Structure formats: C-alpha cells, structure tokens
Structure 1
Amino acid sequence: MTTSTSAPRSAIRAIVTGHTRGLGEALAELLLQRGIDVLGLGRGTHAELASRHAARLTQAVVDLADPAALERWLADGTLSAFASGAECVVLFNNAGTVEPIAPLGEQDAGAIARAVTLNVAAPLMLANALAATPAPSANASRRIVHVSSGAARNAYPGWSVYCATKAALDHHARAVALDAPAGVCICSLAPGVIDTGMQEAIRATSAEQFPMRERFEQLKQNGLLSTPQTAAQQLIDYALSEAFGSAPTADVRELAGA
C-alpha cells in the first residue's frame, strides 16, 4: 500500500526506511521541515507525520525483511516515480535490527535470516533501484546513505549477526565507490550511539547473551547517548554536503569539521 499526494515535488527528495520511529522518524521529520519530499518505507504508516506534512510525505507499507515483498514493491514503479525529475535523491537505509543477540549456537535461525534480509538485502536492493532511476541532468545526483554502526568496525560478543550485517554495508559502499556509477555517491555512515528502542532492547538483554550490556547501561545512566534528532541532523547535513561521497565509510563523531 502506498499513500501519496499530488503536490509539486521538491528538487531534493529523500527516501527513508523505518520512518515510523527512532532515528528514521527523526530523519523524516527534519527532512520534511526543510521542505524536502520524503518517501517513507516501513511495515506501517506514521499518521502524525502525515497530518503535519501531507503535501510532502509519501508512505509505502512494505516489509523490508521480506525480499519477495520488497521485490514486488520495487517492480510497481513507486520509487522510480518518486525520484523522477529530482536533481538530488538521498536514500537513507536506516531500518535495521540488532536481533538476534546471542552467542553462536544459541541464535534463532529465523531471526538470523530476518536480520540479514532487513540489514543487508533490503538496503542493497534499494540502492540498486535508486541508482537505476533516470537522472534529469548530467549534474543530478543519487546519494546513498547506509546507516552503519561502530559494530561494523569493532566486534562485540553476542552481536555476531549484527556486526556481520553492518560490516557488509560498509564493504558494499567501498565496492560501489570503486564502481563509481555516474551520478551516484555512497557512504556507510555510523551515527554514534543513539537513545532509541534498539538501545532499550540491548539493555533488556541478559548479560549471558550480551556480556557488554553494562557498558550500554552506563552510557544511558551518564547521559552519553545521542538523541535521534541530533543524530538525524548530523546525517542529513553530511548527506547534503559537498563532502558526501569523498569517503565510502565515515562516522558522524569524526565529521565536526566536514
């Protein structure tokens, strides 16, 4: 199901996965506040965002952990129609899951498959689809932001699936940068540790399943978690900057001077 409007579209447009909560919700809100059209993809819709930004928000209900469903949705032309005519389209591959949290041998097989699909297959499918959309001019850009993690670059006990899937996004960005498709820029961008539902799930995990739980509890207790709004602002500012795409992987905590 896709809900949209017929209002004139902005020259810059954005696609946000997982736009109904957490970082994705903050990304969609801040983009809309800037007058940027947003196509939100998720398992549900965001009624409040739609009521406040009816002219700029398009929402599509699709289970990104179901590759067949995503393939059908891509085939219906919604993404290409949304991108058509835009000088700049930014894809924020934000949706993801930290589950299953458990050492090898204790992970649910279905949870592994869902995580790999949601965290890796869906972003790669969407990136490919966006890169294939026709550009209206030689100067038009298609910008792909994989929302990465420190777990892509550092191993954590109990997070073997999450670490592997986020590392896959980093390496995908490196390879795409070598391909250098015309008009396409990409970066797998780590947003720091954000106070979202994912952090709540991490803190609710037993120490046996995730031995580093105490560290994340202390980050929360000491007020060291970034807000979704702050992280979203940093991601958007960098995605729209001239520096975007100069490196295939980056961390917002290291971009103060970017």
Structure 2
Amino acid sequence: MPQHLIVLTGASRGMGLAMAQQLLRPGHALVCISRHRNPDLASLATRAGATLDQWEQDLAQGEQAAHRLQSWLSAHDPQTFASATLINNAGVIPRIAPLSASDPGDLANALRVGLEAPMQLTAAFLGATDTWAVPRKVLNISSGLGRRAMASQAAYCAAKAGMDHFTRCVALDEAVKPHGAKVCSLAPGVIDTDMQLQLRGADPTAFPDRQNFANLKTGGQLTSPTEAATRVLAWLERADFGTNPVADVRDA
C-alpha cells in the first residue's frame, strides 16, 4: 500500500523529536534530517511498523541537504506514496547579545540553518515532486518572534520573519498550479525546550526579556514538546491547511 511520506528536519530532540515519535506509525515513511541520529527512533519505528530513514546532515550546509533530498525524491516512484509532506523544524538561537556584539560567523550559521536551509529544502522538495499527483504540503515551523521584535534576538527574529514571508511567496507560486502544494508557516506557541533554557539563562544585561521567559517557566505557561507536537501535527491535518500561509496554533 502507498505510504504517507514525511520529511522532517531537526528531529533529534525537542519538539522535532516529539513530532518524529508521533509520526512513526503504520503507513508512514519518515525521513529525518538532523546533525545526529536518534537511536531510540529506530527501535520505535520497528515496533510501530513504520519506515524510517535518518540522515546525518548539518543544515548549515543547506545546499548539500537540498541536493540530497532532490536526488532521493527523484529516484522514487511517486506511486509508492499516498502523500508527501516537508516539515522544516530545525533552527538555532545564536549567542544572545545585541547585534553590535554578535559574531559574524554565529549570525551566518543561524541564518543558514533557520532561513537558507528551509528555502533550499522547500525548493528541492517542491521541484522534485512537482508532477506528483498526490497531496503535497510544506509546514514551516516559525515563531511569534518572526512577527514581534525582541532585543538581542536579531538573527532569530530575522530568520523566522524571512520564513514567514517566503512562505507567503511560495503560497502564491503554488496557487496557480493545477496540483499546487499547500504551504503554511506556523508558530507553535512557547515550548519548554533547550532554547527556552538558553533564554532563561542569558545575561540579563544583554537580554532585557530574560525575566519574562523565566516567569513563563515558573508560571507553568510553557507547553511540553509532546503537547506542542500534537497541536502542530493536528494543524497539519486540518482540511483548511494552507488557507492562511502564516498562522499560529494559538489561533485555533
């Protein structure tokens, strides 16, 4: 029977890992792209009767990842899949500091992983599957910081704002095609991940919003990675997915 293909980046930890765990079920073929393999996913896939392929890939080398994805997709018979979905989840926060105190290499890495790689992978995915007569979706995991400025977060905010806007552009591209893909840049809410730990541990003199993030933790206002993954994947399954190319799970 045809399988539902999902390509997921940043699947080795946090919400990405939680999404991978929930996506490993019968009838699914999951390709995870991360810097490191997660051995627990392999055993989970076996128990779940799902197909899993883990690629060790630094997404700072987005062009390399995109070429690999395009070649892999082109080598497969589209009839083996019932649908095809790309989830761009990976992202990094560079050292928390005002832009004037930021390292150029650190900034470049954050933008490569958070913006360049999603664009390159989306281009490869849509190009390789353009003639596939199956439902296709691209889900970009964005952030409220792509829509709201924050001090000492210029690179992360810029990457997510760019993700939102390139998603709007792709939605226009795909809308004029007979079998165009549905695309959405989705903010998943505030999640209790390593990123939050990084923000709460920042130097308050360099990060004025540090206490606000600490208050979210102490006030129990953070969503667990598992709960956030469930909400994001539920959004992916909505009948109106892509109607609004930039969305927030909290608007559901």
Q: How far apart in 1 are the matches of 2:213 and 2:77?
A: 39
User: Who is 2:33 aligned against?
Assistant: 41
Which shows bigger deviation, 37-46 or 177-186?
177-186
- Residues 1:13 and 2:10 are matched in the alignment: no
Structure 1 runs not aligned, ≥5 long: 1-7
- What letter corresponds to residue 161 of structure 1 in structure 2? A
CA shift, 1:242, in A, is 1.1
Which amino acid letter does the alignment assign opposite residue 125 of structure 1? Q
Matched, 1:206 2:203: yes
SS in 2 for 1:232: helix
Which is richer in helix? Answer: 2
Tell me which amino acid in the other structure corresponds to 1:96.
G
CA distance, structure 1, for counterparts of residue 198 and residue 161 of structure 2: 21
User: Could you say which residue in structure 2 is the equivalent of 1:115?
Assistant: 110
Secondary structure of the corresponding residue to residue 69 of structure 1: helix
Aligned match for 2:170, one of 172, 176, 181 = 176
C-alpha displacement at 1:44, in angstroms?
1.0
- Tell me: CA distance 1:33–1:250, structure 2 relative to 1, closer, same or farther (3 Å): same
Q: Which runs of 5+ in 2 are unaligned?
A: none
Shift of 1:238: 1.2
Question: What TM-score comes out, normalization by structure 1 length?
Answer: 0.89
Q: Structure 1 residue 74: deviation in Å?
A: 3.5
Matched residues in 1 for 2:74 and 2:214: separation? 43
Cα distance, 1:135 vs structure 2: 6.0
Aligned length: 245
- 1:11-42 Cα offsets, whole Å, 9 max, x none, are x2211101010010001000113642210001
Indicate if the aligned counterparts of 1:87 and 1:135 stay in contact, CA closer than 8 A: no
- Secondary structure at the counterpart of residue 184 of structure 2: strand
Change (3 A) 1:215 1:164: same
For normalisation by structure 2, the TM-score amounts to 0.91
2:245 to 230, 245, 248: 248
Which of 155, 170, 181 lines up with 1:161 in the alignment?
Answer: 155
1:101-140 residue pairs with structure 2 within 5 A? 101-134=96-129, 138=133, 140=134
RMSD: 1.9
Cα distance in 2 for partners of 1:83, 1:105 equals 50
